[in-house]
Amino acid sequence: RQMSKEAQGTFQHSMQVANLATEVAGKIGANVELVRTGALYHDIGKMKNPAFFTENQRGVNPHDSLSEERSAQIIIQHVPDGIEMAEKHHLPAVIRGFIATHHGRSKAKYFYIKYINNHPDEPVNEELFTYPGPNPSTLEQAILMMADSVEAASRSLQKITDEALRKLVNDIIDNQVKEGYFRDCPITFHDIEVAKEQFITSLKTVYHTRIQYPTLEQHQGEVKEEKNATSIFGTYKNWNHIRRDRKKSSR
């Protein structure tokens, strides 16, 4: 209730994440009610600085006047803030676990990439851009991490098509697997494939009225494939490119 008043965008995001996560949980044998509860509470830390998160912004972006490092720290801080709030309100440890792990040891990638682009010749302090973690250790926590990332990215798609939704889901979750975020939890590759298909199905339902179906001209190549110009999804593509470049430079 407090979140619905103080951070309406985050409240809506959490509700959507809960819906996505519970559908997947039911498909792969996870605890549905636990996943739903964890999803509803996972972002409570954003209530401390709601205006710094895109889903709550209405025109003015306070990050415009901050350095990349400072912006990343504010974004990352919602995890420790959430744990602190959960402890204050006596939420059980199992729910605090969802708050701690929903970003795992990933990076605040938008600001990390922005820093590298703006400071190409300067070393980067990786820890300043890295969430404290830990990575998910349960099946339910892994589902939440996937659902959270997929839901956030889907809201930034400019053109909604079946193909765009499928690519978005596959790219995001494949990247999470590649980064090793699920190594410490009992999720299988089969579970992940089932989860991806369910996310795609659920997102098609959510965005049904916005899905742009291809015309005959598009099939004939007269209309080029739409450009996937999204702030969040684009970050995932840039992220893989940067990782390759940084590996080469370190050799």
Report pLDDT digits (tens) over 135-150: 999 999 999 999 999 9
Q: Would you state the structure tokens that stand for residue 100, as one six-digit string?
A: 């701690």
Give the whole-angstrom CA distance, residue 77 versus residue 91: 19
User: Is residue 171 very low, low, confident or very high in pLDDT (cuts 50, 70, 90)?
Assistant: very high
User: Is residue 213 very low, low, confident or very high in pLDDT (cuts 50, 70, 90)?
Assistant: low
pLDDT for res 105:
98
pLDDT for res 233:
42
Which CATH architecture fits 2-249? Orthogonal Bundle (1.10)
Terminal Cα-to-Cα distance of the chain (whole angstroms): 52
pLDDT for res 214:
60
Residue range 96-108: mean pLDDT, rounded: 98
- Whether 218 shows a pLDDT value over 50: the answer reads no
How many beta carbons lie within 10 A of that of residue 81, not counting itself?
17
User: Is residue 58 very low, low, confident or very high in pLDDT (cuts 50, 70, 90)?
Assistant: confident
- Whether 2 shows a pLDDT value over 90: the answer reads no
Q: What mean pLDDT, rounded, does the chain reach?
A: 88
User: Is residue 235 very low, low, confident or very high in pLDDT (cuts 50, 70, 90)?
Assistant: very low
What is the domain partition of the chain in residue ranges? 2-249
